[in-house]
Structures are given as structure tokens and as C-alpha cells.
Structure 1
Amino acid sequence: MNTTFRWYRLSLTGWLVVACFLTVNAQVSVEAQKRYKEAIRLIQTGSYDRAKNELNPIIQRTGPLAPYASYYVALADFRQKNFSQSRLMLKQLVTRFPNWQKIDDAQYLLAAVCMEMGEYEDGLAALKPIGTPALRTEGVKLEQNFMGRLTDLNRLKRINRDYPDDKPVALALIDLIQRTATDKDDLELSDRLTNQFGVPVSVAGRPVSPVSSGTTTSANRPTTRPNRAKGYYNVAVMFPFRLDEFDADKRGRSNQYAYDLYEGMKMARAKLQEEGITVNLFAYDVENDPNKTLELVNSPGFAQTDLIIGPLYVEPNRIASAFANQNNILLVNPIATGSELVASQPMSFLAQPSLNEQARRAAEQARSLIGGGARRVAIYFGTSRKDSLLAAAYQAELKQQNYQILDFKRLSGTAQAMAEAMRFDGKMTTVGSVSAVPTTPVPITVSHVFFASSNDDDGARMLDALSRRRVSAPLIATASAFDYYRNPMSTFTRWELYLLYPDYIDTMREPVMAFQEQYIAKRNTIPSVFAGEGYDMLLFFGRQMAKNGVPFRSRTALRTDPEGDYVLSGFDYTESNENQVVPIVKYEDGRFIKIN
């Protein structure tokens, strides 16, 4: 919304107010009417100071025209860019005349003033009570303009948390993430918001540019599809490498995971070569430009691709998925956990288990714990969107199995705060003070507790909270709720604790130790979990292409041997294109042991 349009909208609002004046002019003196009409004429001609001089006496008399005069003074200040004075007058108007018949017009102008001042949160708060349909529509346009100006990603994420159902805010956040962010959690947030609100009309992004990797370059790629019987496969890695910002000495990059994934793939390529399977890696620096992505996948050389890993952005991923389906090319998403990405996409696979799959496996573990006992559960989750989604998926899974859900809510803060928020059997026992602690433990009849959190401080707090509430049932929690370096061993031994751990790596296994030694020798640094994931992905799908063809002829072989040479826990696609391997671990004999 440009300045001309905004002023037009506010002028139109003003003349609507003039029309309303006709309903009250019988109660106003002739002098006041004359002064008021003159002020309106002066505003129309741009004589704002003179108009305010005419209106101020009317405001002071507090008669029927006072709210109208206040509005026009605020409008005049707005036109003069005296935003602070305009906001002050509008605040007084809303406070003094909350039942004014044109209060929605004042709220709209107040929102515009706050937005102009960069106080977007106050602007959104001003728009919220507006009920007039036409003004609500204009309010959406106002938001679209100003939310698009925000470049502070953290601030826009906070606004989205405060207004989770606000579509213009969500679309602005999607657009900003897609244009500027490479952080894994931010991309997952963008993916979730896109599923809920759709894709912004204007999608910005840097052009996709291919960069060579390994011994083969895009210039000498084969022009005809290779003979797959010879084990010759082309793999396109479409990640946000951001080469124009690359600094070899900088390790703490927000997109470091992309480089770690790729380093793991290069090690897998060498392993596959030892097995007689030749893989050519082609790295493409892909941001979020749908047009460039479409140009890339439709280029003659790209048609020789056998496997696509990525892209990580929503629209490029959709374009690549459609291309993969049309050309019988495998596509693997390395970090996403949304089932919808592979629904009705026969050539697309999730390297990570989806949240639904994690919930299903956790429910299987719960059944093994209670046997034929009572099915009563309390489900809690942390503050991130991913936490609530996993908890909701778990709740849905247990409802299908006729569990009684005793409690379902978000928990945060101290252990004391968590304990006080818990409800069991619809009752609450006060905790935290000596006088409130029962002399006899209060039995809590719950078969188990489930807790999903991405905050590694929350796990220990949850255990403390359960102790305060005298709950002794097993706890199934996400591994991300614990800090394995800061939490003492007693954290994991004092409770019957089971951890949902998709990124579990058994460091005592020989293949893992060998991988770590090779990686350190090559990179002079300890491999991250992403390096292991990249290694496993290319190793698994490279072997499958060589043995099973593309598209896969049979699903029966689409799984890894539990005792195989993978770094993490492997893959299983025998039932669907989602990875069904979901490690659940328990702390035993000084280390975490996979129990499923």
C-alpha cells in the first residue's frame, strides 16, 4: 500500500464520518457547526494547522462533535507525519469515547499510525477489535504492506507467535524465511506455515546457480541417460549453500548443516565407489526462486539426474517433486518431518521419520509398558510448534487406541510451574510449600506420561515436576528435551525414562567409530549428526538404485540391516515413503541403548 492509497483510504473514512455528523448536528450549536465545517474544508485543501485550530475548541467542549473533531485532528497530524501527536489523540479518543459509532475508523487510523512508527505489534493490536467488514478488509491490506517491510526475522517470529492465526503475518514470515534464512528450524517453520496459509504471492530469492562438485562438472555431464547396469548414477544436491557468503574459516554458519550433510555424502560416494557403484555428485546452490528452479530442472543436463536430494524450500521442492514424478527420478528430503511432503508423491521420500510415524512408534512402546493395564495418559509439550504438532499426533494415535487422555497442555518455566499446571483425574494437589505437601503420597493412576519438547532444559524440569506431583509412571519423552552434557547421570537413572531419539547414534558400534575416524582425518573436526545423515542417505539410496532399479521394482528390500554399516539407525520404506525407523532408547550401564 503506497502513501497515495493510504491517504485516499483515510480520506474516504473521513467523509464517512462527515455523513454521520448529520445525525447529531441538531444537538450542536450553530457556531460549532460552522467551525467544524470550516475545519473539514481546510483539511480537504491541506491547511492542517488551521484546521486543528478550528477543531481544538470543539474537542474541549466535549459535545457530540468532540469525537469527530478528535478524529480529524489525528488525521491532520497523520497527514503532516506528526505520528506521535496523532497516536496520542487517537488513544484519548478511544479511551474517552469507547462506544462512539465510528470507533472502528479510529482504530484503523491508530493502526496505520503505529505501523508508520514501526510499532507493528501495537498496530496489529489496534486492528484486532475492528468489526466493520470494509475496514477489516482494509486492515488486511495495511498489514500486507507493513509486515512485508520487516527484516528482523526474530521479531517477525515473535509476532507470529502472538498472532498465530494472522495470515498476512504468516505470509510475511514465510517470505522472509525463504529469502534470508538457512537455519533448519526456520525452514521447518516456513514449511508448517505454508501448509496452513499457502505460499506468498510474491516470492523473492537468489537465482539458482549450479556449482561443480567432485571430479565431474556440469559442463561435461553426459547428454544421454547413462547405462544403469554399469552402476553410473548422477545425484543432484539442491541445498542453500550460499557460496557468495562462504568463509572457509567460519564454522558457526546458520546453514552449516547443509555443508555437513554434503561432506557426509562425499564420504558415502567414496564408499560406494569401493563397492563398484559410481556416483557423480552435482551441488546446486538453491535458494527460493521458483522460476530459476524450474529453469534448472528443465535444463537438458538435469534430465540425466537419477536422484535429487533437496531442495529445502517449499516452492522449489514442489517443483522438483513434480519433475521427479514425471521423469521417474528419486527425490529425498533430508530434514523435513511432514507426512504431507510425500503424500501422493510416489518418487519422494523422507529421510527423517515424520511426526506421525514418531507418534505411532511411541504409542507402540507405551502399549508394551502397560500390557493389559489401564490406558490413562497425560500428554505435555513445550513451546515450539514442532512440540505441539508431535503431541497432537500422539494424542490422535492414543485416542484411536481408546486411551483416556487425563491432561493435554503446553508446559514451560520452572519445575514448580510445570507441576502446578499438571492435572490428573481432574484434580489438583497444591505443591511447593511445606504445609501443602501431603504427609502420605497422593497416588496418581496414570499408565504413562508423554512429553515433547525441543528445549534441552525442559526434560530435567519435567522429571522434577513429576516428582513434586508424586507421579511414578514411566515417561516417554523426546531426546531433544535433555542436554546430555550438562544433565548428570542421575537424571536418566532415577526414572523409568524412554527417549524418542530419531538422531540416535550408537558411538560404540564399529561402523560409527570408523566413520568418525575417517571424517576427522579428512576434515580435522568431529562430524555432526548431519554429516552422518548425509553419509547414510547417499549410501542407502545409492545401493538401492544399483540393486533395485529406478523406480524401485519392489519395496521388500527397501530397508537397512540393523547390523549394517550405517552411522544412524537406518531406513525402512517397506510400508510407505516415510522412514519407519524411529529409535527409542533407554539409559543402561552408563550409556543409551536402543530398545526397539
Structure 2
Amino acid sequence: MNYHSSVLAGLAALLILAGPSRAQAPGKPKAPAAAASAAPPSAATLDARYRSGKTHLDQGNYQAAFKDLEPLAQRSARFVRAADAAYLAAVAATRLKDWAEAEQLLNLLRTEYPTYPNMPDALFLQGQVSFEQGDHDTALKTLAQLPDARLTPERELMKAAYLPRITDRSTWQRLLRRYPNDATLARAYADRLVAGGAFTEADRPQLDELIAKFNLERARYTPPPRATKKSSYNVGVLLPFELNDPSWQTQRKNQFVTDLYAGLRLAQDSLQRAGRPLQLFAYDTGADTLTLKQVLAQPELAGMDLLIGPVYKSGARLLARYAREHQIVCINPLSEDGDLVMDNPWHYLYSSSAATQGRVAAQFAISAFGTARPGVLLHEEGKDDTDFATAYRTTFEAQGGKIAAVRRFNGEADESLNAAFAGLDLPTTGHVVVASDNRRVGPSVLRVLQQQPAATRPGLLCPGSWLDNPRLEISQLNAPSVYFVHPKYYDEQRPGFRRLRQLYLQRQRLPPSVYANQGFEMLLYFGSALFQYGPAFQPNLVTAPPVAGAVFEGQSYQGGAHDNQVVPIVKLNNLELQLLR
């Protein structure tokens, strides 16, 4: 297998096993200033850099690989293997999820090096890049250019992985008109209609036509009967109570689980008082997937109308698969990982995903900071922070803004934090965005920004968790241009919260934690959806307007979203929190 084949095999494996890889935007490497009389690098120097880039790529050090390879791809480098460098640099950019940079390199490759012998590999990669950017038409058009004998299984796997993410009906219809003979596209749409709960009687003629034309299994593509409404519902709660370990260490570690369940019980009481009887059945999933598998094997679980849990990612994937197989809506109570609910019409996040938070934050930044001056984006290395940063940059730049620099850092290392700010031109920067809940990060960021003169100091957009950081002074957070992305914001003067607090204190002798608040709000919303729409309520949430919360700002799953689209943005004004969005 040659090098390009091995890279391609790796891309296909990522699509099948894990979906898109975690991302860090590399940013454009700056060429070092050279003296006018300096000689261009020798062929041996360029070749050594190329080999170094390939080695970094093989080792998974994509940032370093991109830095080595991208300059070699330019015509001005006069590198004999510039086409290979362009392709491999594009691979590194896709592994970093910098889709815009990858597309630029692939466009360069096709324009400057049209006779590149591995062009089918580049076209395949372009298909992924276009899908990731939501340009489905270009993706399908590019993949159709692949020679019939090349990459056919991988191409169909890619389409099968990305097409189910389309939520807009008009997009589906447009693609079906433009690619009427694409069997994978037709099958993906039929799956969405039937398994996704989007089927209406108006869709039956088109569905019958697709079944006949592409010889689809009619039994599989017969829409299930709508679940009828009932007078009461059963909800399975699968949480790691770890009741078999009564030690104080375990009880303390699991206090958030206890609080979450206590909030669910209070919501159950509220629904009962409103004439909506709902039964909770709690299952202890333990701290490992083995216990969860034993719970899922219990026959009565298949008779539940709604499932809530679990809290650990490995278990969440298991329960999501179970929910899909048994067609029971499942709610993940705490996760912000949007990948968990991707391509599964029966799985929802109660919270806003990190990507949704990044998108909403960017939309706010356009109005708050404008686009005249570029932004700077700093984020930690974790998946949620990376997803936030990727969505933020994509949305901000799509609306005409510019991100001058993207830096990732390790919040536990002072040298990494210092490096994140090194070389930034803050006086010309419009705003700085930071994605990190680490308590060490806020003081470092604010210290650097406050060293700038007030007239040229950039605005700051940061997580709402900074408001609870004891290392930060309230005067720092109360600065004029400091804003907070705060998905867990709630107004303590709201009547709903005051009532919840009163009831919780009566029952628990303690004020409710944020986990208790979340449990209460979650069951109140989805329990009400059960009584309003029945157990298969997914199509109704697509068009349902946002619902104001009793505690938090509200819930919305409009447009087919499977995570909450309500993301509050707040700021301190005269030491009081002010809701801006």
C-alpha cells in the first residue's frame, strides 16, 4: 500500500468508527522574515521539511505537519513535490477540523497541479470537506467525479455518514432533484422519513416511488403507526447511583446524581398536581458499562415511554443504541457533546451542545463587536472546547467576520497559557473569545487584557462559569466589554425558581444545586411533551416554538435540532447580571 492509500484508509476508518476527528484550527503559519539577500532554501532543505511533515502526520501531530507542509504547497516554494505537500497539508487540516484551510489547499491542488496522479484521493477528501461545511451539493458533485473503479465503497460510506445530518426538507428535495439516480441519497432520505419520525401522508407517493425505483425493502420503509396519547406515562431513569457502595467517598462523588434525581422527583410532583400523572422507575447503572448492559437486558425497560440517562459517555452510546432499536426517546441529562445525538432521531441532549453554544456566541459577537476588527480565539484541548471553537470560527467568518488567530492551550500549564498570548496584536483586535472552564485561565486572560490601554482593549467573550470563580474579583468581571456565554443562567427572582427552592428546602433541608434545577426543568419539559404530543414527539418539536423555563431561560429544538437551542448571553451591569440574549 502506498502512502496515499494508507492516508485514505485512515480517513475512511475515521468516518466509519468515530466520525470527524477532534479539531484544532491551525491558523496560517507566518513565514519568518528573511533578509533581502538571503538565498532560497535548497532542495535538500525543502525535502527534509517534507519528510518531517510526513512523519508528523503519521504520528498524529497534525499541527506540526501542517506547519511543515503548507508552505511547500505554494508555487513560490518551487518544491518538486508541491502537489503531494498540498494534499498532505489538506489531510492535516481536516484532522484539525480546519475545513476552510483544507478547502483552500484542495482548490490550490486542483488549480495549480491538475495532472496530479492521486487526484481521486483529493476529490474524495474534498467531498468530506464540503460535507463538513454543509455544502452538500458540492460534496455530491465532487464525489461523482471519482472514476467508477476508484473508492466506490469509501464514497458510499461517506455519503451514508453525512447525508443523515441534513435536517432541512427543502435541502433534501433539492438534492433528490439534482441527483435522481443516487441510491445512497434516496435510502438516506427514506430512512429520515421513516426512522426519523418526519413522515406525513403527503410524503407517501414519493416514498413509494423511492422504494420501487431503488428496490428498497418495503417492510423496513413502512412508517410505524403513530404512538397514541395515554392518560399516564412511564419514565425510566438510568443513573449511576452506585447503591452497592455506601462509603462516604462514593456518596460525596455521586452527590450530583442524587441532586439530579431529587429534581426529577419534584418535577414529577408538579406534573401530578397539573393532572399529568407520570411514574419514575429508577435503575442503578453503576460506574461501568457492564452494569448498564444488565439493566438494558431487563424486559420491562422496553415498555418505557421515555428514558433519561446515563451520565458517562460510554454508557450514553449504549443507551442511545437501545433507544433507537426500541424506538423510545432517550434524553441525556448533562452532556454537551453534540456528536452523541448525531444521526439518531431518538436521542436528545437536555443541554445545549458545545457547538451550538459556539454558533450562538458568534452570532452575538457579530452584533456586539462588529466585524471591522478581527477576533482572537483561544481554547483548551478538550473536545467540548474544541467543538465550541470550531463552530464559533465557522459561524463568525461565514457572517463576514475574521478570526486573526486561533490558539489552543493547556490550562494547567503556565507556559502554555503564556504561549497562547505570545505575539498577538491585541491593540488591533476587536475581541477575544476564550473557551475554558479551568479556574486558572480567567485570571491569566484578564491580567493580559487589563495591561492594554482602555481605548484599544479588546472585548472579551468567556464562559459563564467564570462568574463563580473565587480567583476572579467582581470588579474584573464587571468591566464594560466582558460578556458571558452562560447556558446554565437562571434568575433567582423568577417565580418558578423561588417555588422550586421552597419545595426543595422543605424536602431536602438544603437549597437546590444546579443539578437539581436541571433535573426539575428537564422532566417538566419532556414530561409535558409526552402529554401534549405522545411518546413519538420528535416531529412536533421541530416546529414547536421555544418554551420558557420555570428555572432556566427555556428549551427549543426547532428545525430538527437534538440539543437545546436556547443559549443565554449575559453581562454584569452595576454588579447585577443582565440577560442580553
| Band of TM-score, shorter chain | 0.5 to 0.7
1:134 maps to none
Matched, 1:393 2:391: yes
- C-alpha contact 1:309 1:332 (8 A) present in aligned 2: yes
Matched, 1:444 2:444: no
- C-alpha contact 2:264 2:520 (8 A) present in aligned 1: yes
Residue type of the alignment partner of 1:380: L
The Cα shift of 1:290 comes to 4.9
Task: Report the secondary structure of 2:519's partner residue.
Answer: helix
Matched, 1:523 2:521: no
The Cα shift of 1:528 comes to 0.9
- C-alpha contact 1:505 1:569 (8 A) present in aligned 2: yes
CA distance in 2 between partners of 1:410 and 1:229 (Å): 49
Unaligned runs of 5+ in 2: 1-58, 60-95, 97-226
1:237 maps to 237
Give the alignment of 1:182-581 within 5 angstroms.
229-246=229-246, 253-287=252-286, 290=289, 293-371=292-370, 373-382=371-380, 384=382, 386-411=384-409, 412=411, 421-423=420-422, 444-470=427-453, 471-485=456-470, 487-552=472-537, 553-555=539-541, 558=544, 560-562=546-548, 564=549, 566-575=550-559, 576-581=561-566
- C-alpha contact 2:363 2:396 (8 A) present in aligned 1: no
The Cα shift of 1:559 comes to 5.0
- C-alpha contact 2:450 2:457 (8 A) present in aligned 1: yes
Task: Report the secondary structure of 1:345's partner residue.
Answer: coil
Name the CA shift for 1:541/1:413 in 2 (closer, same or farther; >3 Å): closer
CA distance in 1 between partners of 2:385 and 2:290 (Å): 34
1:187 maps to none
CA distance in 1 between partners of 2:515 and 2:569 (Å): 19
- Give CA deviations for 1:218-242 in whole Å, capped at 9, x if unaligned: xxxxxxxxx9644311111111110
Residue type of the alignment partner of 1:447: G
Residue type of the alignment partner of 1:244: N
The Cα shift of 1:557 comes to 5.8
CA distance in 2 between partners of 1:534 and 1:279 (Å): 15
The Cα shift of 1:400 comes to 3.3
CA distance in 2 between partners of 1:477 and 1:315 (Å): 29
Residue type of the alignment partner of 2:533: N
After superposing the two structures, state which structure 1 stretch, 513-522 or 320-329, moved more.
Answer: 320-329
- C-alpha contact 1:479 1:499 (8 A) present in aligned 2: yes
Name the CA shift for 1:353/1:301 in 2 (closer, same or farther; >3 Å): same
Name the CA shift for 1:450/1:518 in 2 (closer, same or farther; >3 Å): same
Name the CA shift for 1:384/1:495 in 2 (closer, same or farther; >3 Å): farther
Task: Report the secondary structure of 1:503's partner residue.
Answer: coil
- Give CA deviations for 1:444-466 in whole Å, capped at 9, x if unaligned: 12221101111234223312211
Name the CA shift for 1:483/1:314 in 2 (closer, same or farther; >3 Å): closer
Residue type of the alignment partner of 2:578: I
Name the CA shift for 1:405/1:299 in 2 (closer, same or farther; >3 Å): same
Question: How many residues were matched structurally?
Answer: 353
CA distance in 1 between partners of 2:445 and 2:422 (Å): 14
Residue type of the alignment partner of 1:346: P
- C-alpha contact 1:544 1:558 (8 A) present in aligned 2: no
2:578 maps to 593
- Give CA deviations for 1:293-345 in whole Å, capped at 9, x if unaligned: 44533433222201111123444433322232233311000111111111111
Name the CA shift for 1:252/1:388 in 2 (closer, same or farther; >3 Å): farther
Name the CA shift for 1:292/1:389 in 2 (closer, same or farther; >3 Å): same
- C-alpha contact 2:328 2:535 (8 A) present in aligned 1: yes
Residue type of the alignment partner of 1:573: Y
CA distance in 2 between partners of 1:397 and 1:541 (Å): 30
1:33 maps to none
Residue type of the alignment partner of 2:392: Y
Name the CA shift for 1:383/1:252 in 2 (closer, same or farther; >3 Å): farther
CA distance in 2 between partners of 1:292 and 1:457 (Å): 37
CA distance in 2 between partners of 1:556 and 1:381 (Å): 32
Task: Return the TM-score normalized by structure 1.
Answer: 0.54
- Give CA deviations for 1:239-264 in whole Å, capped at 9, x if unaligned: 111001235x7796222211111000
Task: Report the secondary structure of 2:234's partner residue.
Answer: strand
Residue type of the alignment partner of 2:398: Q
The Cα shift of 1:271 comes to 0.3
CA distance in 1 between partners of 2:417 and 2:315 (Å): 41
CA distance in 1 between partners of 2:415 and 2:317 (Å): 45
Task: Report the secondary structure of 2:236's partner residue.
Answer: strand
Task: Report the secondary structure of 1:572's partner residue.
Answer: coil
Task: Report the secondary structure of 1:567's partner residue.
Answer: coil
Residue type of the alignment partner of 1:491: Q
The Cα shift of 1:380 comes to 1.3
CA distance in 2 between partners of 1:321 and 1:397 (Å): 29
- C-alpha contact 2:307 2:328 (8 A) present in aligned 1: yes
Name the CA shift for 1:538/1:446 in 2 (closer, same or farther; >3 Å): same
Residue type of the alignment partner of 2:428: T
The Cα shift of 1:382 comes to 4.0
Name the CA shift for 1:538/1:228 in 2 (closer, same or farther; >3 Å): farther
Unaligned runs of 5+ in 1: 1-127, 129-164, 166-226, 428-442
Name the CA shift for 1:375/1:550 in 2 (closer, same or farther; >3 Å): farther
Residue type of the alignment partner of 2:295: L
Name the CA shift for 1:501/1:232 in 2 (closer, same or farther; >3 Å): same
2:176 maps to none
- C-alpha contact 2:377 2:406 (8 A) present in aligned 1: yes
The Cα shift of 1:588 comes to 1.7
Q: Which has the higher contact order (CA 8 A, sep 6+)?
A: 2
Name the CA shift for 1:548/1:514 in 2 (closer, same or farther; >3 Å): same
- Give CA deviations for 1:560-591 in whole Å, capped at 9, x if unaligned: 533x4x21222111121111111111112332
Name the CA shift for 1:384/1:296 in 2 (closer, same or farther; >3 Å): closer
Name the CA shift for 1:550/1:375 in 2 (closer, same or farther; >3 Å): farther
Task: Report the secondary structure of 1:231's partner residue.
Answer: coil
CA distance in 2 between partners of 1:489 and 1:481 (Å): 10
The Cα shift of 1:476 comes to 0.6
The Cα shift of 1:485 comes to 4.9
Residue type of the alignment partner of 2:477: F
The Cα shift of 1:494 comes to 2.3
CA distance in 1 between partners of 2:317 and 2:413 (Å): 42
CA distance in 2 between partners of 1:291 and 1:513 (Å): 40
The Cα shift of 1:513 comes to 1.4
Residue type of the alignment partner of 1:237: V
Residue type of the alignment partner of 1:266: R
